[in-house]
Amino acid sequence: MDLSKIKAVDSVRVEIQHPACEGVVVVIAGITHAATKKADQKRADALLKAKKGLKAEDREKLMIDYMSARVLAWEGVQWEGADLECTPENVAMVLSVPDLAFLRDEILIAMGDDEAFFKA
């Protein structure tokens, strides 16, 4: 296998599979994208500052902040009947809603799919 032919992709489109979210697509920054590198650094800094470890709510916030930084765009997302702009703050708000935990899970699964972030 010629490893020189393997390249990281800038972003991936993820179609949310939950039946309640038909038509919802999320674009996630790839592992070499500037947004991912910045989010990785911010997460690493937070972990270094937490000398005694993080409380559960701090870990959850750290995870949501990391995910929010890597969501570059979305399609088909509305809130209270209006289109919701894709900003890190809005992504964090949506991912923090307990009733939408499935959405957070689907995005986490997509972020962990190494094959999706590389093409040969």
Domain limits, the chain: 18-115
Token pair for 19: 């039946």
**Position 52 confidence tier, pLDDT thresholds 50, 70, 90:** confident
- Separation CA 7–CA 53 (nearest Å): 36
Please enumerate in sequence order all residues whose Cβ is within 8 A of that of 92, keeping only pairs 6 or more positions apart, or say none: 64, 65, 68
pTM of the predicted structure, to 2 decimals: 0.89
Q: What is the pLDDT of residues 3-29, one digit of tens each?
A: 999 999 999 999 999 999 999 999 999
Are 41 and 69 in contact by the 8 Å Cβ rule? The answer is no
- Separation CA 56–CA 106 (nearest Å): 21
* Residue listed under structure tokens 């972990």: 47
**CA 44 to each of CA 2, 13, 52: distance values in angstroms, whole numbers, following the listed order:** 33, 26, 15
Token pair for 102: 């499935």
